Amino acid sequence: MLRELAVAFVLGCPAAAEAYSQCTTTPLAGPGAVVSEEGSNPVSWGNYVYAGFAYKNQIGIAVSSDAGRSIGSPVTIYNGSGVAAQLRLSVSYQHVYALWRQKNTGYSLMFAASHDHGKSGSWAPAIDFGAHNPSLPQIASDGANVHIAYLQTDGTVAVLNSADAGRNFSAPVRIAAGWGEIVVTSLGRNVYVSWNTKVGDRFDVSLAVSHDGGGTFSVQNLSAPRPSDSNEPILAMDAKSGRLSLVWREDTPQQGIYLQSLDNGVTWSKPLVIDSSTRQYMVADDGSYIYISYLKKFLVDGVPDWQIYLTRSIDGGKTFPPAKNLSGPTGISALVNDNERPIPWVSDKGQFRLTGVEADGVHIWNGSNGHILAPVYVGPGELASPSSNTATWEGPDGVVSFAVCH
């Protein structure tokens, strides 16, 4: 199904975005390939767009140097023994950083870097950190500063730091006991890590802040004394102002919570409730607008139906208007399983993209300066992430493809 595009949703500004009418896809790897997960792929910097994937024992990447109009042949980053999984990408200036887990008898934490836009021949030999069975690895970078957060085997949240573009790393900095998902972001010497902490029978959201490049951290419990479980924390930062946004999901009642810090994570605003009967929150900040996307639950003939919603703050996160249902004009979309996050992407020029997975596969929404157009259909599949006018996605047969929408 190809959705014809017209102006569908206006979140406050005159139309400025150009409607997409179709997407052209280029297979990169598979069958049996796995796209990197949840917003880390594709990533972009300037006119460069990067699409990464794990394929059997290999890690690969394809590079576009013309803002996604064309894509180069895949480059092999790593080709070793075992099975590669959980690839994450981070890009800053000419540096491209890849982080993943490699399974042999156990899991090892692996890292590789290119300092020339990910081009063939520019990748340094991969680093094996020798961390046995690390889980939930995440990576953030700002120029030559690289920070890797992961959960150690004993359940401790730890961070590895590099100040020389990934050529050398510190010993693991152990922060605190953790549980569930980990997220990390950074700007300059400031590093922020968030995760779930188990407090008695309840899960809370913790945040660790470092102002010395990850050498030391102070830890805050941001969800206490809320009585219910707090899950799925997601961080976003405006690189110009340093504004830090955090969203998570409360379980009882099931609702989304947003708060922000304007002083490098020292103090935080009062929590705002975004919506109820929701999960899988994501947040993005382009400096002018803060976007929050999520799934909202409905019952259709007694069957749960998760639909994609989007809201945008025009006052720096002080308020968020009622969200728009992006899944269809009737509000009934026969959507998705509830593990597929709708993933937003923003640029400092006001561009906005969002990928979501509905019953028939992957869709991408296009917009700018708050104006959101109806989606274009990309193809059957899942695990899609947007960047510029592109998306990287995983088809039902495990073929990872790069889509250019126009």
Angstrom CA distances, 2 to 17, 105, 255, stand at 19, 45, 33
Per-residue pLDDT at 336: 46
Judged by DSSP in three states, 113 sits in strand
Residue 37: count of CB within 10 angstroms of its CB: 17
- Give the residue, 142 or 388, on which the prediction is more confident: 142
Answer whether the bond into residue 322 is a cis peptide, omega within 30°: no
pLDDT category at 51 given cuts 50, 70, 90 is very high
∠ CA 111-219-91, nearest 5°, is 30
Which letter does DSSP use for residue 349 in this model?
T
pLDDT at position 351 is 82
Q: What is the 3-state secondary structure (H, E, C) of 138-173?
A: EEEEECCEEEEEEECCCCEEEEEEECCCCCCCCCCE
Mean local confidence (pLDDT), 329-349: 64
Residue 339's pLDDT is: 59
CA-to-CA distance for 195 and 58, rounded, in angstroms?
A: 29
pLDDT digits (tens, 9 = 90+) for 142-181: 999 999 999 999 999 999 999 999 999 999 999 999 988 8
8 Å CB contact between 247 and 256: yes
Strands (E), 172-289: 173-177, 179-187, 190-199, 202-210, 218-221, 230-237, 244-251, 254-261, 272-276, 278-285
Is the pLDDT confidence value at 5 over 80?
Answer: no
pLDDT digits over 33-42, tens only? 888 655 556 6
- Residue 144's closest CA among 115, 177, 175? 115
C-alpha atoms less than 13 angstroms from C-alpha of 53 in its C-beta half-sphere: 29
Question: Amino acid letter at 83?
Answer: V
Domains of the chain: 7-405 (2.130.10.120)
Higher confidence at residue 31 or residue 406? 31
- Chain centroid to CA 329: how far? 27
AA letter at 229: D
Is 271 within 8 Å of 281 (Cβ atoms)? no
The pLDDT confidence band at residue 9, using thresholds 50, 70 and 90, is very low
Alpha helices in 59-124 (DSSP H): none
* pTM score above 0.75: yes
Distance between CA 237 and CA 247 in Å, rounded?
A: 12
Q: Which among 292, 309, 297 is positioned nearest to 356, based on CA atoms?
A: 309
| For residue 77, pLDDT beyond 90 | yes
